[in-house]
Amino acid sequence: MSLQVDLSNKVALVTGAGRGMGKAFALAFARQGARVVINDIQAAGLGGVADTIREKGGNEKFLDGIIKGDLDSFRAGIPMGRLAKPEEQADMVLFLSSEHANHITGQTFFVDGGQTMV
Instruction: State the Cα–Cα distance between residues 23 and 94, nearest whole angstrom.
Output: 13
Q: Exposure string (b/e) for 28-46, b if CB count within 10 Å is 16 or more?
A: bbbbbbbbbbbbbeeeebb
Question: Does residue 89 contact residue 59 with C-beta atoms inside 8 Å?
Answer: no
pLDDT score for 73: 43
- Residue 45, by phi and psi: left (phi above 0), alpha (psi -120 to 50) or beta? alpha
Q: What is the pLDDT of residues 15-30, one digit of tens each?
A: 889 999 899 999 999 9
4-18, 32-46, 69-83: the lowest-pLDDT one:
69-83
**Could you give the CA distance from residue 110 to residue 113 in angstroms, rounded to a whole number?**
8
pLDDT tens digit sequence for 44-91: 888 889 888 888 777 777 665 554 444 344 444 567 777 778 888 889
> Which sequence spans correspond to the domains of the chain?
11-66+75-113
Report if pTM > 0.85. no
